[in-house]
Chains A and B, each alone.
Chain A
Amino acid sequence: MTTTASLPVGQQLEVGDIVASDASLRRFLHGLPGVDQVGAEARVATLSTRSIKTTAKAWAIDLAISMIDLTTLEGQDTPGKVRALCAKALRPDPADQSTPRVAAICVYPDMVPVAAHELAGSGVHVASVATAFPSGRAALPVKLADTRDAVAAGADEIDMVIDRGAFLSGRYLEVFEEIAAVRQAAGDAHLKVILETGELVTYDNVRRASWLAMLAGGDFIKTSTGKISPAATLPVTLVMLEAVRDFRDTMGRQVGVKPAGGIRTTKDAIKYLVLVNETVGDDWLDPDWFRFGASSLLNDLLMQRTKLTTGRYSGPDYFTLD
């Protein structure tokens, strides 16, 4: 499987040394151990066969609900839709008060004021995508302005996209500096860095991009925008979880992980939770350190939850569409 053999675990690395030049950064990223693709996929396949039942399942469902970044990122979004989504975030299942709230609402920057108003004082975070989401193809000042706007409007979490073009052509320092600049512009807001793993092609690239985002100060690394297929997959999430584990071991800072896109069923969500538990352990089994970017997942979790509490199968008619 994967290994941390060539990482100087225990010995403190200095970010400044790594990013001193394009060459030193490249040397570091390419010096990361390669990912054993077959091994990673086999490991995920094994973990996916775990059977989580009864009380453990009930616990996992509630945890998964509390980890959801309830997302609407459509051109057709309206304030009304965002308000409806916020109502759902605060009370996912109106018929059952014991249902936990979701972690955050994730919207486009212009919808942040609406969401911030609806969620004020509730503890549910307001996340905003920024930096010319989803392509990231805009000049840096535009991206920074986008970020500052979202923060000023009340977003306490910023989901930025990296410049995949620069990353794939090997201009790592450029990507690093851009993330660092957005980190600066985001101020106190939590920064989630979207790697768009569907465009990074290889697991080695995913591992490099993960390290790059963490070195630049990201608080979370997120798989995808949800606009590109494939979005989040289990092997990619495994690679990212290993990256945050190794990063904490060497750099002493914990970073969160957020798979986003394509996670639609309770079964899927529980597979991710098993993966988290087996790869990085309890420390990450918390909405502060692991999130699901999803919208339709919530309804399936609620249906499963209802099945467990009432003992009968539920149906999609009993939950809101968005």
Chain B
Amino acid sequence: MSDRIPVRKTYKLYIGGKFPRSESGRTYEVTDRKGTFLANAALGSRKDARDAVVAARKAFPGWSAATAYNRGQVLYRVAELLEGRRAQFVDEVVAGEGLSARKAEAVIDETIDRWVWYAGWSDKIAAIHGSSNPVAGPYFDFSVPEPTGVVAVLAPQGSSLLGLVSVIAPAVVTGSTVVVLASEQAPLPAISLSEVLATSDVPAGVVNLLTGRTAEIAPWLASHMDVNAIDLTGAPEQALELEVASADNLKRVLRPDAARDADWTITPGLERLLAYLETKTVWHPIGV
């Protein structure tokens, strides 16, 4: 047997269900913790972010109108596919985060469990966060949670898979669509996740994934007038200026929290689910 020529990967972005190259044509080298070359990833630009927001906006009406039951099923199916790619994710987490194989296995377990956990919330969140309100009049009065719209997510820099899933799932499960900026140093698990999503039942544009420099792209997402919420977890140093830029269209902002974001294995609670919900209150006359 002769030595094979290695097939080196040049990954692309994931926008609107397609895998385009960066509009800028740029790429950057992804290495493991020791500096060994792993693959080339697309170095996204502000225009890729713009395109991703357009794709997310386009997907929003369909995804938010899907029944909660349906969204739960679609997301559960993603967990099944993640399970099937387990070995690949383990390798990527080992390379990207410098964990031992055993620890990486545990991270993948936690990741898939986290995804299933959030998928289960799809048809239960209204029971927790909605209410039927007592009013002094002949009306039924309900408050129901509704998705906010397009959510920009700056994924955590350290936890490239578990952290990523923990920030994407709570946004999409309630019906929002997301533009995710993957971990700059370790984007490969995120790219593989996009390949999983592309082959799952998640409609095109519900999750859009960009790779590149967080500091370069984040300000464009923060100031974007067609983004309804932003999760600043992946940019703690820039958080203040990004929050200021987000104020122009009154984006919902999820601030980074050093204590909370240090350990992604802890069961997260509802904070991230509730961060991207609006409340709609309906007055319905009691019929004659």
Chain A residues close to B by CB (< 8 Å):
311-318
Contacts and interface: CB of A to CB of B under 8 A. Distances in A.
Contact of B248 (A312, A316, A317): A312
Interface string B205-248: 00000000000000010011111000000000000000001001
Nearest to A315: B226
Nearest to B224: A313
Contacts of B53: 313
B255 interface: no
**What 9 A-B pairs are tightest by C-beta distance, nearest first?**
A315-B226, A312-B223, A313-B224, A315-B225, A314-B225, A313-B50, A313-B225, A318-B225, A312-B225
A314 B53 CA distance: 11
A109 to B, nearest CB: 36
A311 B245 CA distance: 11
B248 A313 contact: no
Nearest to A306: B225
A317 B57 CA distance: 11
Interface string B45-83: 000001001000100000000000000000000000000
B226 A312 contact: no
A315 B50 CA distance: 10
Contacts of A318: 225
Contacts of B225: 312-315, 317-318
B227 to A, nearest CB: 8
10 contacts: A311-B223, A312-B224, A312-B245, A313-B220, A313-B225, A313-B226, A314-B226, A315-B227, A316-B57, A316-B226
Contacts of A314: 225-226
B188 to A, nearest CB: 28
A319 B226 CA distance: 12
A30 B226 CA distance: 53
Contacts of B227: 315
Contacts of B220: 312-313
Contacts of B248: 312
A317 B225 CA distance: 9
Interface string B26-59: 0000000000000000000000001001000100
Contacts of A315: 57, 224-227, 249
A311 B224 CA distance: 10
A62 B182 CA distance: 37
A93 to B, nearest CB: 14
Nearest to B245: A312
Contacts of A316: 57, 226
A313 B248 CA distance: 11
B49 to A, nearest CB: 8
Nearest to B222: A312
Contacts of A313: 50, 53, 220, 223-226
Nearest to B248: A312
Nearest to B46: A313
Contacts of A311: 223
A312 B49 CA distance: 12
A311 B57 CA distance: 20
A316 B249 CA distance: 13
Nearest to A311: B223
A317 B226 CA distance: 7
Nearest to B49: A313
Specify which of B220, B226, B227 lies most central, judged by the most chain A CB atoms within 10 Å of its CB: B226
Contacts of B57: 315-316
A287 to B, nearest CB: 29
A313 B224 CA distance: 5
A196 B71 CA distance: 45
A174 B245 CA distance: 63
Nearest to B226: A315
Contacts of A312: 220, 223-225, 245, 248
Contacts of B50: 313
A311 B225 CA distance: 11
A312 B225 CA distance: 7
Contacts of B249: 315
Contacts of B224: 312-313, 315
A168 B148 CA distance: 54
A110 to B, nearest CB: 34
A307 to B, nearest CB: 9
A313 B220 CA distance: 7
A314 B50 CA distance: 10
Given A313-B224, A315-B225, 19 more contacts: A311-B223, A312-B220, A312-B224, A312-B225, A312-B245, A312-B248, A313-B50, A313-B53, A313-B220, A313-B223, A314-B225, A314-B226, A315-B57, A315-B226, A315-B249, A316-B57, A316-B226, A317-B226, A318-B225
A318 to B, nearest CB: 6
Most chain A beta-carbon neighbours within 10 Å: one of B57, B220, B225, B245: B225
A316 B57 CA distance: 10
B222 to A, nearest CB: 9
Contacts of B223: 311-313
A49 to B, nearest CB: 14
B187 to A, nearest CB: 23
A162 B220 CA distance: 49
A314 B225 CA distance: 5
Contacts of A317: 225-226
> Which of A311, A312, A316, A317 has most chain B Cβ within 10 Å?
A312
Nearest to A313: B224
